[in-house]
A and B are shown apart, each in its own frame.
Chain A
């Protein structure tokens, strides 16, 4: 790789890492937010007798956003659980190839879902789909969060494949675990 390419790559992966960390905070805050909204809803209904018609849906929306926004951060933090039993069985050389293929497969899935979700979000936008409830939030919002989250996740996989898997195959060293 040329020096410029390497610099650009570093800039890209660094920016992605920072963005994903923010997404991690956002995801945690969304969980806290839904706890607060739910508590407010419960109190308003029980003590003031005035239930809301949007609280539950808002919380579900926040939950979906929270899940997908944190996906790439969770990958970077190596917190997407996997089964690591094979690790001890195969020789190190084979393991490097195995992890590369696992990452390529997962990246393929995530990329496919991301593309699918963007198309679906666009469809929901152009058709004006809403949730059929009194509050009636627009459906492109949750689909958009799925699309955004899966895109970030795919990019994070790309970084992981280049920086860890390919690098470890080239140098023969071990970088990180699955």
Chain B
């Protein structure tokens, strides 16, 4: 049996196995462990920072088998497979634990079926929470966003923000920094880790973290092209799946640690740190139901069923 080299791509800053963005570290841990357990039969080349395929296009590359693996925000593929927008539906997931329980619930089976039909396999289930950086006033309740130029970063988040009275503003991620600096944006919404690596604390005054509640949970699993997976021996497939599952705890703990680090980094920069409580979350969820969820139900044939399955996860 000849050794195979698999390519893993992701869009996040690259570092080492011990330091840097946890999403990069997770991929490196995966590679190291699989290489060890297959005695070097499987090797990996890791491409951080979108240095092989651009972020969104990683889906197509995995689906046609030209890219082996990616740690991929699943909702990015929503333009091609609209059901996948459920991976970044506002106020749908309520906690890390509940998100991880999707895996063994009916919603997990359905999601797995949908992506595998398109030629992609989920290897590690990872959820990440996000927060809000703002230059003006703190943003906790829906009424706080009225009239603000707000970058939601995705279609569903923009719908929610618009319904809450904000002006969703489309700014490419490479320009968020300049936009926050010059005031083109009043506030931006993204993952805790990206709020740190985009360095918005240099211009923000307030940050709302996900330490308590948040309406921003994104599904960003480690995924593998089914074509690549099928080429592995049964033994190797087993190792890949086991190592993948074993990393879920690391993913959750690191994501949660970054919610905490977000607070530390921003407060060190002199910003005021806020948290979102249950009552505020309930208000956001009410608006989400009437905007983003409603749109998802109406546009997608089995949208309502998917949402019900997700909500029913305890």
Contact = CB atoms under 8 A, between A and B. Distances in A.
- Does a CB–CB distance below 8 Å link A and B in the complex? yes
Interface of A: 45, 49-53, 55-57, 127, 129-134, 136, 139
Interface string B151-181: 0001100110000000111111000000000
Contact of B147 (A49, A127, A131, A139): A49
A139 B159 CA distance: 21
Contact of B56 (A53, A132, A136): A132
Contacts of A53: 158, 168, 170
Contacts, number: 47
B106 interface: no
Interface in B57-104: 75-80, 85
Contact of A132 (B78, B149, B170): B78
A136 B75 CA distance: 14
A56 B172 CA distance: 9
Interface residue SS majority, chain B? mixed
A133 B167 contact: no
Nearest to B152: A134
Please provide the 6 A-B residue pairs with the shortest distance between their CB atoms, ordered closest to farther.
Answer: A132-B79, A51-B169, A132-B78, A130-B79, A56-B170, A51-B167
Contacts of B79: 129-133, 136, 139
Interface of B: 56, 75-80, 85, 147, 149, 154-155, 158-159, 167-172, 184
A134 B171 CA distance: 13
A134 B159 CA distance: 8
5 contacts: A45-B169, A129-B79, A129-B80, A132-B155, A136-B79
> Considering residues A57, A132, A139, which has the most beta carbons from chain B within 10 angstroms of its beta carbon?
A132
Contact of B155 (A49, A129, A136): A136
Output the residue of B155, B158, B170 with the most chain A CB within 10 A.
B170
A134 B157 CA distance: 10
Contacts of B77: 132
A57 B170 contact: yes
Nearest to B151: A51
B167 A45 contact: yes
Contacts of A133: 79, 155, 170
Nearest to B172: A56
A136 B79 CA distance: 8
B44 to A, nearest CB: 28
B158 A134 contact: yes
A122 to B, nearest CB: 15
A51 B85 contact: no
Contacts of A132: 56, 75-79, 85, 154-155
Given A49-B149, A53-B170, A131-B79, 6 more contacts: A45-B167, A51-B170, A129-B79, A129-B80, A132-B154, A134-B159
A12 to B, nearest CB: 36
A78 B76 CA distance: 40
A55 B167 CA distance: 14
Nearest to A137: B79
B130 to A, nearest CB: 17
B168 A134 contact: yes
A5 to B, nearest CB: 42
A142 B154 CA distance: 20
A83 B112 CA distance: 52
A58 B156 CA distance: 20
B80 A55 contact: no
Contacts of B149: 45, 49, 51
